[in-house]
Structure 1
Amino acid sequence: MTAPRSSGVLLVTGATGKVGRTFVDRMLADPRFDGFRIRALCHKRTLAPHPRVETVHGSIRQRDDVRRAVEGATHVLHLATSKETPDEVMDVAVKGMFWLLEACRASPALRQFLLVGGDAAVGHFHYAHPVPVVETQPHSAYPGCYALSKVLEEVMLQQYQVQYGLNGCCLRAPWIMEKDDFRYTLSFGEDVFGGPRWHELVGPERAREYVRNGAVPVMLDPEGRPVQRNFVHVDDLVDALLLAVDAPRARQQLLHVCMDEPVDYGALAAYLARTRGLPAVPVPTVYRSTWLDNSKAKFLLGWRPRYDMARLVESAWSYQRAPDDPRVVWYPG
């Protein structure tokens, strides 16, 4: 077993979200982090009581709330974000991160700042990438305020590392899956998780037929080829985050944390036809294949993803929700 890490107080923003909940539970259960306490900056929701968890109520938009949350923290894990919500995205994703970085820069206790970024910062599957995308790929946000905010977050962290020597690390993740998320990314119904919204691409009548027969979409690029799209399971992402805490080789690094290979929608349809007898529907789109390269995270952290396409499918299709665990989509994707 790996030796225990040093003690500390780790502040988590976005602690009640998909990644935050999993990270908190895993850190509390991991003997390596027995010396750590967790502090959560919560706005509307809150974490369950735990002797090693402290909740600070406030808004990341407010400088005094952020300063109060950062005070005495040795580590910050920044997960709070905003999706395609123009009215709040700059306050949450940009100003909120600025207040965090300013408080961290001034704190004598702060040892490390961890950010979970997104592949929206390099265009996701909106632009053609003829070779695997590595961390030196220039930023290229696709249209919309969310992708722009992910670029700005990464650039702000990088500049604080340059300007002030901040010990930061950005783990750039693609679309993060948990529970039955992946199954609902393939739904032709209104219950589709994220995008594309397949029922809008094929029309309501055909969508209803596809829902009835359990069909799954095969996303095609403009040349008619199945698209390859990147995913990561939340457990794999949290594995990487825990490895990055206090890791000397993570200092001031940007790391791709994703599955070894993107999901090929053609191969996915073939797998679902073979294992579950589901019919496939080709859906022409404007999207392009992207292959994120995760070699750097493997090399520097010793991290290995546990999920491939088959495991992602099997975990999503076998997941059974308890009565007190309804499917709730807090945001589109």
Structure 2
Amino acid sequence: MLVLVTGATGKVGSNLIATFLADGRWSGSRVRALCHNRLLTETDRLEMVWGTISERTDVEKSMDGVTHVVHLATCKETPEDVMDVTVKGLFWLLETFRGSPTAQQFILIGGDAAVGHFFYDHPGPVTESTPHMAYKGCYALSKVLEEVTLQQFCIQYGLNACCLRAPWIMEKDDFRYTLSFGDDIFGGPDWKTMVAPDVAAKCRAAGTVPLLREAGGAPLKRNFVHVDDLVSAILSALGNPTTRSQLYNVCMDEPIDYGEVAAYLARTRKLDSIDIASSYHSNWMDNSKAKFELGWRPRYDLPRLIDDAWDYQRRPDDPRKIWYPG
């Protein structure tokens, strides 16, 4: 088995490669990392190809002899790059894959932006049958186009391909910084812009966390997944014949309730919270299909996600750095 990983130096890619190479089930297999901006150190089982998926020749070079593809490369709210990377790049990967004599399975990692996550009021659980609903901006549109393109290639050419749709992916101390009122905020909303400047400063100094409320006033529920659980799902799908032409929601068993987050941090860390009104909507991704068909189970729940984030101690050579906007 030779696995091509795009987006190999990112959060998911780096964890996937490390876990794959350390797992005895794949002891005779190798990984090829397609890198663009950042580089990896090669070993006897890990080789690196430099290039971009938006260039057909780079894709063809990286796909030579590959049996399995895990496609992670993406970009966020960068209109100048998004079509080249997420549409053109995926097209060249799939075109090359379908013509390859060695290619066996293609796995795309999608995102809940394809169904609009908390921007829309879903009448029930978000399942694999929920219609595509991109919110404003180019990122959500790109997630819809990725899923549709993969689906159509499966219909047109009978490819052995699947999509694992993930919500917001956490690792290390990420979740702690999703709740920051400072410039170190990870992701969004940007809490300091939703309150007065003096209130934001007080919250930042005291470690106060936001209690985000949905349009109806109740604490908002939003879906997350820890990178370890996502990697576990990818490895459950890898080489699994059940996944052919399938879409799976891969997320925690329950969405994170901002009210429960505030209560847990008050009880365990003595941190105060502040109500933040919003026009967002609670939603609940249903992961039962992945659990039933892949035999996969997420290990992270709310207490573990919070405790791991607050207890994490970064090494001096591992500073927090956001590699993409949005």
TM class, shorter-length: over 0.9
The answer to whether residue 7 in structure 2 is matched with residue 14 in structure 1 is: yes
- Percent of pairs with identical residues: 63
Counterpart residue number, 1:264: 257
For residue 131 of structure 1, report the CA deviation from its aligned partner. 1.1
SS at the partner of 2:194?
Answer: helix
For residue 49 of structure 1, report the CA deviation from its aligned partner. 2.3
Counterpart residue number, 1:54: 47
* CA distance, structure 1, for counterparts of residue 268 and residue 133 of structure 2: 38
Which letter maps to 1:190? D
From 290, 301, 306, give the equivalent of 2:299.
306
For residue 47 of structure 1, report the CA deviation from its aligned partner. 1.2
Counterpart residue number, 2:314: 321
Q: Any residues of structure 2 matched to 1:192-231 within 5 Å, and which?
A: 192-231=185-224
SS at the partner of 1:12?
Answer: strand
Which letter maps to 1:34? S
For residue 205 of structure 1, report the CA deviation from its aligned partner. 1.6
For residue 223 of structure 1, report the CA deviation from its aligned partner. 1.7
The answer to whether residue 158 in structure 2 is matched with residue 165 in structure 1 is: yes
The answer to whether residue 278 in structure 2 is matched with residue 294 in structure 1 is: no
- Contact in 2 for aligned 1:195/1:332 (Cα 8 Å): no
* CA distance, structure 2, for counterparts of residue 265 and residue 243 of structure 1: 30
From 130, 143, 152, give the equivalent of 1:137.
130
Counterpart residue number, 1:185: 178
- Contact in 2 for aligned 1:193/1:332 (Cα 8 Å): no
* CA distance, structure 1, for counterparts of residue 206 and residue 321 of structure 2: 24
Counterpart residue number, 1:86: 79
The answer to whether residue 63 in structure 2 is matched with residue 74 in structure 1 is: no
Q: Report the TM-score, using the length of structure 2 for normalisation.
A: 0.99
From 309, 323, 326, give the equivalent of 1:330.
323
- Contact in 2 for aligned 1:126/1:288 (Cα 8 Å): yes
Counterpart residue number, 1:147: 140
For residue 130 of structure 1, report the CA deviation from its aligned partner. 2.5
SS at the partner of 1:54?
Answer: strand
Q: Any residues of structure 2 matched to 1:121-136 within 5 Å, and which?
A: 121-136=114-129
The answer to whether residue 98 in structure 2 is matched with residue 105 in structure 1 is: yes
- Cα RMSD over matched residues? 0.7
SS at the partner of 2:110?
Answer: strand
Counterpart residue number, 1:241: 234
Q: How many residues were matched structurally?
A: 326
User: Which range is displaced more, 122-131 or 305-314?
Assistant: 122-131
- Contact in 1 for aligned 2:75/2:85 (Cα 8 Å): yes
- Contact in 1 for aligned 2:78/2:325 (Cα 8 Å): no
The answer to whether residue 109 in structure 2 is matched with residue 119 in structure 1 is: no
Which letter maps to 1:152? L
The answer to whether residue 245 in structure 2 is matched with residue 278 in structure 1 is: no
From 17, 20, 40, give the equivalent of 1:24.
17
Mark the runs of 5 or more structure 2 residues left unpaired by the alignment: none
Stretches (4+) displaced over 4 A: none
**What do residues 168-213 of structure 1 show as CA deviations (whole Å, max 9, x unaligned)?**
0100000000000000000011110000000011132210010111
Counterpart residue number, 1:5: none
For residue 274 of structure 1, report the CA deviation from its aligned partner. 0.5
* CA distance, structure 1, for counterparts of residue 134 and residue 325 of structure 2: 18
Which letter maps to 1:100? L
* CA distance, structure 2, for counterparts of residue 273 and residue 134 of structure 1: 33
* CA distance, structure 1, for counterparts of residue 23 and residue 215 of structure 2: 46
Q: Report the TM-score, using the length of structure 1 for normalisation.
A: 0.97
